[in-house]
């Protein structure tokens, strides 16, 4: 076991998969010698060669098209979109093309593509870098969307994503890259896609979150504990497909639900979670579901991030709304 940051765990997973299968390729802007702008691919080109880990020209749609064409030639592409705010440039390749290949071709083709991309706010990036666009992509049939919240999950989920024969968008929250370390086993292990994690068992209320908001939920639970409220924390880990069973189980257990997402309140993943719980377990609810999310504005300028992003205090407030009802 080694202490690793999330970015180290990601590099480790990539290295393991490059070793395991020589059909696996990594490409994107600056992923070669530079090791990616966040160093996720650091050292991988040296170790595995320029044929397997290589830079692309600066054009996101081209990166997506490259992945599709390479898949047709039997490769397993791991493509990097430098920042997920650039999703719009590659939206057709992901949501319009690779996502529908299996459907369009009657199940006769695989698209074993992993799309890795940093996203998320709180690190003072320029405009169009921090946006949480997972809801946009999760609405596209044929793509799985994975968002780890810690180093251990990141490694296991990334290995699963790379081995999956369908397109997986793997989103890495920038704030989590280096903010903490934890024990990560050496060698390979996998975490199944589509399975949520019970981060902390609790009895009074269920906080359902993903990505960086899981850290806020943990901080909120610590505060709540002091006030005698015992929260259960669920980390979705995969926002499409959703782990319905775990959502229903926790709802039935606590009867009170707070859903948390970093993205703006309008539409998106949190709405989907609320909708499934409402349809499947409304009678288990003792209070209306609370929803903590960002306001419906464009992602704000760097100096206003702190005011804008949902945080542990917002979660504490929402939990109180749900528990005093």
Q: Which residues are catalytic?
A: 129
- Among the residue ranges 41-49, 102-110, 125-133, 298-306, the one whose residues contact another protein (CB under 8 A): 102-110
Binding of another protein at residue 107 (CB under 8 A)? yes
**Rounded Cα distance, 84 and 62, in Å:** 15
Residue 116, phi then psi, degrees to nearest 5: -95, 140
Binding of another protein at residue 92 (CB under 8 A)? yes
Residue of 293, 278, 306 whose CA lies nearest to 210: 293
Helix, strand, coil percentages, rounded to 5, for the chain = 40, 20, 40
Evaluate the CA torsion angle 255, 256, 262, 263 in order and state its sign: positive
Binding of another protein at residue 148 (CB under 8 A)? no
Compute how many other C-beta atoms are within 10 angstroms of the C-beta atom of residue 188.
Answer: 15
Per DSSP, the three-state class of 31 is coil
Residue of 318, 286, 136 whose CA lies nearest to 213: 318
Binding of another protein at residue 37 (CB under 8 A)? no
Q: Which one of residues 21, 30, 37, 56 is an interface residue with another protein (CB under 8 A)?
A: 56
Q: Which one of residues 20, 33, 47, 104 is an interface residue with another protein (CB under 8 A)?
A: 104
Residue 235, phi then psi, degrees to nearest 5: -105, 115
Residue 231's DSSP bridge partners are: 205
Binding of another protein at residue 49 (CB under 8 A)? no
x-or-dash pattern for another protein, window 111-140, by CB under 8 A? ------------------------------
163-202: which residues touch another protein (CB under 8 A)? 164-166, 194
Binding of another protein at residue 19 (CB under 8 A)? no
| Cβ nearer to another protein, comparing 73 with 307 | 73
Binding of another protein at residue 68 (CB under 8 A)? yes
Two tokens, residue 61:
């749609």
Q: Which one of residues 31, 41, 42, 75 is an interface residue with another protein (CB under 8 A)?
A: 75
Binding site for another protein (CB under 8 A): 25, 51, 56-57, 59, 61-62, 64-75, 92-93, 96-97, 102-110, 141-142, 144, 164-166, 194, 240-245, 276
């Amino acid at each position: 076991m080694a202490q690793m940051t999330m970015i180290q765990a990601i590099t480790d997973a990539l290295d393991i998969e490059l070793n395991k299968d020589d059909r696996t390729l990594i490409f994107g802007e600056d992923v070669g010698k530079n090791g990616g702008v966040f160093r996720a691919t650091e050292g991988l080109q040296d170790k595995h060669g320029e044929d397997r880990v290589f830079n692309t020209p600066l054009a996101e749609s081209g990166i997506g098209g490259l992945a599709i064409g390479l898949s047709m030639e039997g490769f397993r592409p791991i493509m990097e979109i430098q920042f997920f705010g650039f999703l719009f440039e590659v939206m057709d390749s992901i949501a319009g093309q690779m996502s529908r290949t299996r459907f369009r071709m009657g199940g006769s083709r695989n698209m074993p593509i992993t799309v890795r991309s940093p996203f998320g706010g709180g690190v003072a990036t320029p405009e169009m870098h921090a946006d949480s666009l997972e809801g946009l992509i999760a609405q596209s049939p044929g793509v799985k969307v994975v968002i780890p919240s810690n180093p251990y999950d990141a490694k296991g989920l990334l290995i699963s994503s790379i081995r999956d024969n369908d397109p997986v968008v793997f989103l890495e929250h920038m704030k989590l890259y280096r903010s903490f370390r934890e024990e990560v086993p050496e060698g390979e292990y996998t975490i199944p896609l589509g399975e949520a994690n019970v981060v902390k068992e609790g009895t009074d209320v269920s906080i359902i979150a993903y990505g960086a908001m899981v850290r806020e939920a943990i901080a909120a639970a610590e505060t709540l504990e002091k006030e005698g409220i015992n929260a259960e924390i669920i980390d979705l880990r995969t926002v499409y497909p959703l782990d319905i069973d775990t959502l229903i189980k926790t709802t039935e257990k606590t009867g009170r639900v707070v859903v948390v997402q970093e993205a703006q309140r309008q539409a998106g993943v949190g709405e989907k979670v609320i909708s499934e719980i409402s349809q499947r377990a409304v009678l288990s609810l003792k209070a209306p579901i609370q929803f903590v999310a960002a306001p419906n504005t464009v992602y704000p300028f760097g100096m206003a991030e702190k005011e804008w992003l949902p945080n542990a205090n917002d979660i504490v407030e929402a939990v109180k709304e749900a528990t005093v009802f």
